[in-house]
Amino acid sequence: MEWRDGIDVLRPLYQRARLLKLDRNTGWVSGARHVPSPNHDDRPPGTDVDLLVIHGISLPPGRFGGDCVERFFTNALSPEEHPFFRGIASMRVSAHLFLRRDGTVVQFVSLYKRAWHAGASSFRGRQRCNDYSIGIELEGTDTLAYTARQYRRLAAVGRLLMRHFPRITPERMVGHDEVAPGRKTDPGPAFDWQRFRAAL
């Protein structure tokens, strides 16, 4: 294979793995696709961001691809589209970032704003995790393995967060099930915490 052929093979991989950089003025990440959600507000004054909450989501459950998650987080999901949607279409929720199965990153809320992702929650006795956390949704289910591209992207995001929010450490990267036990189960047993932390 000619070296130019090799470049042609690698170019789409490079394009999909665009570098992620944070705009310090806005809290928006370049290298992510921006789909602004109205479901956010200001963090309480003086709040330091010091927690990452990892979620898992697929809409309809177990189905990947499409734009249902994006429409859910932007209040555009039709309750008539699928029976499952009847119970969630009126909810007003969001996350800061969404990592698709192919590693694509979608951003809904500035990292400086409070996204509505964790609900009733607490971490080490401190309530209202939305106030001081960043929420990342992984496209997946509790029981199906997440993809290698998602782990690589999630690790890149984790490193980005640690650079810009120094109080976020690997020990302060947790699952939704940890901050809302008994109510939430994601990202589930399918998520390999050892693999993720090693990648950091």
In single-letter form, the type of residue at position 90 comes to S
The catalytically annotated residue of 70, 80, 81, 137 is 137
In the beta sheet, which residues pair with residue 52? 134, 173
Residue 146 CA to residue 36 CA, distance in Å, equals: 25
Give the separation between CA 176 and CA 55, rounded to whole angstroms: 5
Instruction: Tell me the DSSP string of 118-137.
Output: S-S-EETTEE-GGGTEEEEE
- In angstroms, what CA-CA distances link 137 with 10, 154, 179? 27, 10, 15
Query: Is-catalytic flag, 2?
Result: no
DSSP state of 159: H
Q: What is the DSSP letter of 188?
A: -
Provide the 10 A C-beta neighbour count for residue 191: 22
Nearest to 97 by CA among 17, 37, 143, 146: 37
Give the tokens for residue 166.
Answer: 């120094």
CA count, 13 A, side-chain hemisphere, 180: 18
By annotation, the residues acting in catalysis are 137
